[in-house]
Amino acid sequence: MARTGAQYLEGLKDDREVWLGAERVGDVTSHPALQGAAGSVADLYDLQHEAADVCLVTNPDDGEPMNASHIVPRCAADLQKRHASVERIAQTSLGILGRSPDYLNVTFAGFAGLAHIWAANGNDRGAANLVAFQKEVAARDLCLTHAIIHATVDKKLGDLASGGGEIALHKVEATANGILVRGARVLATLAPFSDEMAVYPSHTFPNSDPRYALAFSIPMDTAGLKLICRDSFSLPSSAFDHPFSSRFDEQDAFVVFDDVEVPRDRIFVDGDHDICANVMNIGWAANVMQQTSLRAAVKLEFAYQLAVKMVEALNAGNPQTYEMLGEIWSYAELTRSAVKSAEEGAYDWGNGTWLCDERPFRALRPMLPKWFARVNEIIKLLGAHNLLTTPTAAQLAEPSLRPFIDKYLQGAAGTSAEERSRIFRTAWDFVGTALGSRVELYERFYLASAPRTFQIAHHVAQKQPGRSRLVDELLARKSE
């Protein structure tokens, strides 16, 4: 049943081990550095009721309302329903919340739809656990985080061998109720605000030690699960001063599994590297990149509109600024077009599960980190010192200052000082504050780096039929 924000927040009050600085956080919903983001995720749970026609569908299992991001797509209409809901969610944070709950809802819906891949090599029990888990996530409307990358210690030695093989998350032993796991993983975004920690493979290590081939999910208050958060970038002053940092610091946590027991019915893979490789190679990108690309499209469209406002507020229109504005618009439009193309090319990926054509997403994926970094650069170039001459809400409210602010910090063409400050404060929080910098790092890496994803794009392209047809035909023509 689709939860409300209040129900979601209530669910976060447990014995989870969240470390922020040297403080073990007691209640993530009321901690000054965390409550803003907790409230924003809660807003998303309320949004699905306020915009029920867009966000909710009927859960086929229990007949209750369910967020559309839990749909296991079976046809084009399912993808469109999911599109509308995901887009609506992205609009609330303008794409700043990278790991809003719909990201992993979509991920697990795709996994469950292709459960036959998880059932390979006799893993029927693991696949059944996965399907049951996805149904539980949908029915209870849970919020998930995930840690799918091994901790980095020594790049020459590699992820598994580093630290004598003890750093990477691994199975220690079977227990009466499941398995005991130990090790570390990076980097669980949204972890303090999640109900469950999902683990599955990202990079795979064929023919290596099966102890490292794991996929499972556990509640956040499971004994031994430790979240070591990065510095908080939350600036809980006001939405005027910091429209993003006041609300959308979704946090990123280093995860330690200190002898954590995973119950048997929550184990999806235990020791099979082939399954781990296949679940990420077949359908994963086609599925989840509908969500990630829609979020990117919303964010790029917002960046374009914001940049236009900056230019207009200073009457700064000239060929160079128009060129930069057109550049941002092009990135937004190309992203939107890639989603459209991927959705139009959707097909049955097996098991009756209808997912997008992954090729537009594979092409888009390595470009987005570059585009987002360039968009940030353009906003800084357009803004210059104006990004920093931005009175705060408190300064605007100070009677002895206000006349001077109104006179000397007004903008062009009737733009008031308050409006000008609001525009440029928003721009600075988008690109320049600690959260702005972190978000740029997120865009560069959250789905692996651009060099890596260009390589993957090439390998995917090589699997397409007719990949050398044009050259072969030309060569054949020459030899006639």
Give residues in contact with ligand FAD (CB under 6 A).
Answer: 99, 146-149, 152, 186-189, 252, 438, 441-442, 445-446, 448-449, 451-452
Question: What token pair was written down for 87?
Answer: 């887009």
* Distance (Å, whole) CA 337 – CA 360: 9
Q: Which of 252, 240, 288, 280 is CA-nearest to residue 395? A: 240
Smallest distance from the beta carbon of 236 to ligand FAD, in angstroms? 20
For 143-195, the DSSP string reads -EEE--EEPPS-TTT-TTTGGGGTSB-EEEEE-SSEEEEEEEEEEEETGGG-S
Q: How many CB atoms lie within 10 A of CB 117?
A: 24
Cα-flanking dihedrals φ and ψ of residue 108, to 5°? -75, -30
Q: Report the sign of the C-alpha dihedral through residues 433, 437, 443, 448, in that order.
A: negative
Distances from the Cα of 281 to the Cαs of 117, 197, 285, 369, 392, in angstroms?
10, 22, 8, 21, 48
Q: In the complex with ligand FAD, which residue's Cβ is closer, 281 or 389?
A: 281
Smallest distance from the beta carbon of 86 to ligand FAD, in angstroms? 17
Smallest distance from the beta carbon of 104 to ligand FAD, in angstroms? 9
Smallest distance from the beta carbon of 61 to ligand FAD, in angstroms? 28
Residues 6+ apart with CB under 8 A from 294: 83, 86, 87, 90, 339
Encode 43-59: b = buried (16+ Cβ within 10 Å), e = exposed.
ebbebbeebeebbbbeb
Smallest distance from the beta carbon of 321 to ligand FAD, in angstroms? 30
* Distance (Å, whole) CA 337 – CA 305: 18
Smallest distance from the beta carbon of 180 to ligand FAD, in angstroms? 21
Q: In the complex with ligand FAD, which residue's Cβ is closer, 264 or 452?
A: 452
The answer to whether 188 and 227 have CB atoms below 8 angstroms apart is: yes
Smallest distance from the beta carbon of 222 to ligand FAD, in angstroms? 18
451 CB burial (10 A radius; 0-12, 13-18, 19+): exposed
Q: Which residues lie across from 30 on neighbouring strands?
A: none
Smallest distance from the beta carbon of 253 to ligand FAD, in angstroms? 9
The answer to whether 98 and 446 have CB atoms below 8 angstroms apart is: yes
Q: In the complex with ligand FAD, which residue's Cβ is closer, 2 or 199?
A: 199
* Distance (Å, whole) CA 12 – CA 145: 13
Q: In the complex with ligand FAD, which residue's Cβ is closer, 252 or 270?
A: 252
Smallest distance from the beta carbon of 45 to ligand FAD, in angstroms? 20
Q: Which of 94, 92, 81 is CA-nearest to residue 54? A: 81
CA 255 to chain CA mean position, Å: 17
Smallest distance from the beta carbon of 471 to ligand FAD, in angstroms? 26
